[in-house]
C-alpha cells in the first residue's frame, strides 16, 4: 500500500518549457488535490477533483491545468513555466464531504530558471 505517490521528485525547467507532474493514489479515494508550498505562505490549493471526470479551481489556478485520468491518477501540467512557479508541489487524496483527513504525497520540488 504505497499511499500517494508523485513523480518526479525534483525538476529544473527553463522559462517557457512545459512539464506534467504525475500523482497516483491507491486508497480508492474519490477526491484528489494539488497544492503548492512557498516559504512563509503555507500550502495553497491549485486545483482539486471531487471525483473521476470532474475538476475545479482552487485558490491559485492560473498557469496550471489538470487532468483526472481515472480514479487513481491526477496530473498537473505547466504549459509555459515561469520563475514564479518555482515551488514545492504536493498532491493529496481523501477528505471530501465526509470530512476525513487528506493524505499527502512526498512532493515535487520544481525550479524554474
Q: Is 41 in the site for another protein (CB under 8 A)?
A: yes
- Side-chain-side CA neighbours of residue 32 (13 Å): 32
Q: Do 23 and 107 touch, CB atoms closer than 8 A?
A: no
Choose, by CB under 8 A, the member of 33, 34, 64, 74 that binds another protein.
33
Choose, by CB under 8 A, the member of 31, 85, 87, 93 that binds another protein.
31
Binding mask 46-85 for another protein (x = CB under 8 A): --x-x-------xx--------------------------
Q: Which stretch binds another protein (CB under 8 A): 16-24, 63-71, 72-80, 101-109?
A: 101-109
- Side-chain-side CA neighbours of residue 74 (13 Å): 34
Q: Is 43 in the site for another protein (CB under 8 A)?
A: yes
Q: Give the H or E element holding residue 73.
A: none
Pairing type for strands 56-57 and 43-49 reads: antiparallel
If you search the block for the grid coordinates 515535487, which residue do you land on? Answer: 108
Q: Is 107 in the site for another protein (CB under 8 A)?
A: yes
Q: Residue 28 corresponds to which cell in the numbers above?
A: 480508492
Q: Residue 92 corresponds to which cell in the numbers above?
A: 493529496
Q: Is 100 in the site for another protein (CB under 8 A)?
A: yes
* Positions that interact with another protein (CB under 8 A): 4, 31, 33, 40-45, 48, 50, 58-59, 90, 92, 95-97, 99-107
Amino acid at each position: 500500500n504505497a499511499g500517494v505517490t508523485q513523480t518526479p521528485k525534483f525538476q529544473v525547467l527553463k522559462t517557457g518549457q512545459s512539464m506534467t507532474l504525475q500523482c497516483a493514489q491507491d486508497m480508492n479515494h474519490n477526491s484528489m488535490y494539488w497544492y503548492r508550498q512557498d516559504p512563509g505562505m503555507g500550502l495553497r490549493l491549485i486545483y482539486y477533483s471531487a471525483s473521476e471526470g470532474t475538476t475545479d479551481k482552487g485558490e491559485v489556478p492560473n498557469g496550471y491545468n489538470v487532468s483526472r485520468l481515472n480514479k487513481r491518477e491526477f496530473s498537473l501540467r505547466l504549459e509555459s513555466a515561469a520563475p514564479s512557479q518555482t515551488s514545492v508541489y504536493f498532491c493529496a487524496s481523501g477528505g471530501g464531504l465526509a470530512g476525513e483527513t487528506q493524505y499527502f504525497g512526498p512532493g515535487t520540488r520544481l525550479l524554474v530558471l
